[in-house]
Amino acid sequence: MHRSIYLDCHATTPVDQRVLAAMLPYFTEQFGNPASVGHLYGWEAEAAVQRSREILAASIQATPEEIIFTSGATEANNLAIKGVAEANFSQGRHIVTLATEHNAVLDPARYLQSLGFEVTILPVQPDGLIDLDLLEKALRSDTILVSIMAANNEIGVLQPLEKIGAICRQHQVLFHTDAAQAIGKIPLNVEAMHLDLMSLTGHKVYAPKGIGALYVRRRNPRVQLAAQMHGGGHERGLRSGTLYPPQIVGFAKAVELAIAEMPAESDRLRGLRDRLWQTLQPLGDIHLNGHPTQRLPGNLNLSIDGINGQALLLGLQPTIALSSGSACTSTKVAPSHVLKAIGRSDPLAYASLRFGIGRFNTLEDIDRAAKATLNTVQSLRETHPRSP
């Protein structure tokens, strides 16, 4: 009996064996606390953390001092958005973001609204991309932050960070991006993209869950943040809590591998994705969600006319493990806010599939998944034919 084909790599990824091998010594032999600077065990751990900080910084063209370790992108987003708001409220109380952002950005923004901040949530175009003219018109003298994600977690759309950053820099507004889905998959350069804050996570790039980072610019301009966790003064006082060397080492190793393998892996994933899309064309009445080319190479999000979404997901079990929306909100029986934002109707939003193709997927996986999808949709259409 075959195990389900895992095509949900936007939700999480398995830990790469090479990442695990790099982590293992820090669970046992080199188990010290990086903050224990009085003996060898602490020195070993601190050195490992510093090497990891250097690797992560180099991957985005930052400096090691600008990397703050967190428990993941959700915490990094909260630290960035709330931290900027609290530290800069005397300069302004207006924040700009997008309707297609992850809830880890939208919810902190809504929280700030309850405290008296004003949040402008911009619409997106039908392909999921931001309208740069709308962004520029939304900026005001009291705007302190723009937060726009690098790669969408549902439809995979890649926003034009360099152009957004140039607009923000021209208006002297801080620019934050949630790059949870982007790190290790597309090139990121905080200088070229004029980024002031960037949220990262490990578990989307074959590192363990529970580890992430926030890039915080230290010069031109120096970003001021208010800490959201206190007690111990770790991470330049911005994020207190004992650092976890195994996770940090694993995160850095995963990013290092992904950067090295990115050109070849991107081509491979793009080929698998395009094959899947083409193989599903005989179904008819299917709609690609998001820009056709300006998207993550391993992302395929589609909607199918005349199909019950829950019945479709159930029908694909146990052959394929995948999602019909963001894994973080998949327990809610509601249409995806991302698909609604690009103009999909409720029925089409419910009848969506998000294929997240990853490092360990093969051509055989894709062909099996395509066959299962074709058979399931055809069976549902025969069982529940649409009215003429």
Look up the CATH number of the domain holding residue 368: 3.90.1150.10
The reply to whether 214 and 273 lie within a common domain is no
pLDDT band at residue 386 using 50, 70 and 90 as cut-offs: low
Residues 124 and 266 in one domain: no
pLDDT band, very low/low/confident/very high, at 173 (cuts 50, 70, 90): very high
Could you give the angle at the alpha carbon of 295 between the alpha carbons of 291 and 300, nearest 5°?
Answer: 85
Which of 192, 221, 256 is the endpoint of a domain?
256
Q: Chain centroid to CA 251: how far?
A: 15
Token duo for residue 61: 């063209």
The reply to whether 69 and 215 lie within a common domain is: yes
Q: Both 42 and 73 in a single domain?
A: yes
- Tokens, residue 8: 């949900």
Tokens representing 369 are 């998944």
Mean pLDDT of all residues belonging to the chain:
94
The Cα–Cα gap between 217 and 169 comes to 13
Please check whether residue 79 lies inside any domain of the structure.
yes
CATH assignment at residue 66: 3.40.640.10
Q: Is the pLDDT of residue 325 over 90?
A: no
**What is the reported pTM?**
0.95
User: 218, 241, 256: which is the final residue of a domain?
Assistant: 256
Model confidence pLDDT, tens digit, residues 120-151: 999 999 999 999 999 999 999 999 999 999 99
Among the candidates 256, 287, 322, a domain finishes at 256
Nearest-angstrom CA–CA distance, 161 and 171: 15
What are 175's strand-pairing partners? 146
Q: Residue 388 falls within a domain, yes or no?
A: no
In this prediction, residues 245-263 reach a mean pLDDT of 98
Residues 175 and 319 in one domain: no
How far, in Å, CA of 122 to CA of 96, rounded? Answer: 7
Structural domain of 105: 17-256
What is the set of active-site residues?
328
State mean pLDDT over 26-54. 94
Number of structural domains (the chain) is 2
* 234 and 98 fall within a common domain: yes
Residue 347 lies in a domain: yes
Residue written as token pair 């998944």: 369
Do residue 195 and residue 116 come from a single domain? yes
What share of the chain in percent tops pLDDT 90?
87
